[in-house]
Amino acid sequence: MNTFKNKRSFFLALITFVISVCSLHAQTKPTVYVLATGGTIAGKGASATGSSYHSGEVTVDDLISAVPSLSDIANIKAEQVTNIGSQDMNDQVWLKLSKRVNELLNQNDVNAIVITHGTDTQEETAYFLNLTVKSNKPVILVGSMRPSTAIGADGPRNIYNAVACAADPAAAGKGVMVVMDDRILGADDLTKTNTISVSTFQNPNYGPLGYMYNGKPIFTRTSLKRHTINSEFDIHNLSSLPRVEIVLSYSNATSLFVDAAVEAGAQGIISAGVDNGNLTTALENALNNAVQKGIAVIRSSRIMTGPTTQWDEIDDDKQGFSASWFNNPYRSRVLLMLALTKTKDYKEIQRMFTEY
């Protein structure tokens, strides 16, 4: 009888011990929110080997349950923000996402955010968040080039690495990042460089922020650009963003698309010029006409690397243009949309393009 009683107390004590160790472990693990927006990472294909598939069909809960080891590194909470191919990403989702990220990161019990996102416009969303999230806590975007049903799907490994990076204290204060193909990339220079490769994302001017190795981040640079808590932009009270269009340069380019943008009511135009932001005479004149009508014009370049510098073959002060420096046309568009919420002055906008 006594032995039975002792055994029972022993097992009770053991169970209590195991439960308290588990709950202590859960308390010490960081809490990472996974916000899902769709993309190929949530895509389903007709076959495991074919290339045809639909983006945004798998829910956030299914994405997470495909990587059971996530619970070893973090307490995972999940939310479905939207479920779209990122070719349809838009200002309304950006505003909703940025506000939700800020709201969550203001909570003491949230340590980091991972956002699953399509790769088509991932660089634009990452940069928008880089300039509008007001927190030092890690924010990491992750996507995949292969749908969840493909042989060698890259999504699960990318999600694991994104959460592992987000959960690591070393990831704080680095600005918004993308973790894919074992690399950590900064939103300050993010560019999709290949239509099908899993290593499509690069930081072509500055190099990657670091690497993921055995589930641990190894950082090799920090961003020298203003971002997150050092950004002057605040979307808190905004329900829409200024309209900014991009106009591409090529031989024989005429004023056609600049005139169309002006006619459509654009408040800003990004010129994706040739070489160092250079323009045909027709385009230069059309953009100067736009400036006369109060439209902000940024000279950027269709070339993937190198800066678009001020005062090269074009006299920016004479024309009232600002140069994009290291921002490509897509990041330039995001920055100009935010800049126009504060100013229309080309010199002030030029300052922003040198600082962000």
Residues in the site for ligand ASP, rule: CB under 6 A?
38-40, 55, 85-87, 118-120, 143, 145
* Distance from C-alpha of 19 to C-alpha of 40, rounded to nearest angstrom: 39
Phi/psi for 277 (5° steps) reads: 75, 25
Radius of gyration of the chain (CA): 24
Closer to ligand ASP by CB, 54 or 216: give it.
54
Task: Tell the residue number behind the tokens 């290593």, with chain if given.
Answer: 199
Length of the chain: 356
Closer to ligand ASP by CB, 233 or 330: give it.
330
Paired residues of 211 in beta bridges? 183, 218
> In sequence order, what are the residues at sequence separation of 6 or more whose Cβ sits closer than 8 angstroms to the Cβ of residue 318?
none
Any catalytic annotation for residue 3?
no
Q: How far is the CB of 147 from ligand ASP (least distance, A)?
A: 9
Task: Tell the residue number behind the tokens 């004590």, with chain if given.
Answer: 13
Catalytic residue among 40, 116, 132, 308: 40
Closer to ligand ASP by CB, 38 or 175: give it.
38
Phi/psi for 43 (5° steps) reads: -100, 155
Q: How far is the CB of 288 from ligand ASP (least distance, A)?
A: 36
- Please say whether the beta carbons of 60 and 34 come within 8 A: yes
Q: How far is the CB of 119 from ligand ASP (least distance, A)?
A: 3
Q: How far is the CB of 47 from ligand ASP (least distance, A)?
A: 18
* Distance from C-alpha of 77 to C-alpha of 82, rounded to nearest angstrom: 16
Closer to ligand ASP by CB, 179 or 352: give it.
179
> In sequence order, what are the residues at sequence separation of 6 or more whose Cβ sits closer than 8 angstroms to the Cβ of residue 10?
none
Of all residues in this chain, which one has the CB nearest to ligand ASP in the complex?
A: 118
Closer to ligand ASP by CB, 23 or 87: give it.
87
- Please say whether the beta carbons of 144 and 150 come within 8 A: no
Helix ranges restricted to H, the chain: 2-28, 60-65, 70-73, 91-105, 122-132, 155-166, 256-263, 281-292, 316-319, 329-339, 346-355
Q: How far is the CB of 63 from ligand ASP (least distance, A)?
A: 13
Q: Looking at residue 228, what DSSP letter applies?
A: G
Closer to ligand ASP by CB, 174 or 192: give it.
192
Q: How far is the CB of 223 from ligand ASP (least distance, A)?
A: 24
Q: Could you list the active site residues? A: 40
